[in-house]
Amino acid sequence: MSHFYFVGQLILLAIFYFLLVKDVVKKKIILIGTSAGLLVLAIQYLFDPGMFSKFNLFEITITSLLVVFFALLHLYDMLTDKKEYYFITVGIIIYLLASTILFLVGNLTIGLSENLKFLSWTLNAVLVLINQLFILYEWKKSFYKKAALLV
């Protein structure tokens, strides 16, 4: 089931960043990157359907790094434009880079003690929480005051 999560995350965040970036070239990069990533994953699953029942590190790496790349494109745009969804973008970059590393290292922890395995998953949970706090801060900064003014 994690396959649907990672592919869904890629598609939804690609749409999010596609709508945010203004430059046509960057929009094409997002479209081509997303299409290429999905095509590579489809080919992988076509040739090895057994991967559906396995923990696919390649899928995690491809989908996460593509989203990080799209977020970096948006972050680059914000150097000269207004900072739209800045904290969400920073949270996504921090979370996806760190969690991708944790997932990649996760297979190495198979032979280690339960405490070390628990530590890596706890660290991932903390990263999720940090990401959610970035999103909450962005919501409060961008939308909370506007909603309060309407009442």
Instruction: From residue 83, give the alpha-carbon distance in Å to each of 13, 74, 108, 124.
Output: 18, 9, 39, 27
Residues 15-31: tens digit of each pLDDT: 999 999 989 999 999 99
User: Quick one: tokens of 34?
Assistant: 């997303």
Residues 101-145: tens digit of each pLDDT: 888 877 676 677 777 777 777 888 898 899 899 889 988 888 776
Nearest to 21 by CA among 72, 64, 65: 72
Tell me the DSSP string of 90-106. Answer: HHHHHHHHHHHHHHHHH
Mean pLDDT value across the chain: 87
Give the pLDDT band of residue 1 (cuts 50, 70, 90): low
Give the pLDDT band of residue 47 (cuts 50, 70, 90): very high
Asked if the model's pLDDT at residue 96 lies above 90, the reply is: yes
Contacts of 72 (CB under 8 A, 6+ apart): 93
Single pTM value for the model:
0.85
pLDDT of residue 147: 56
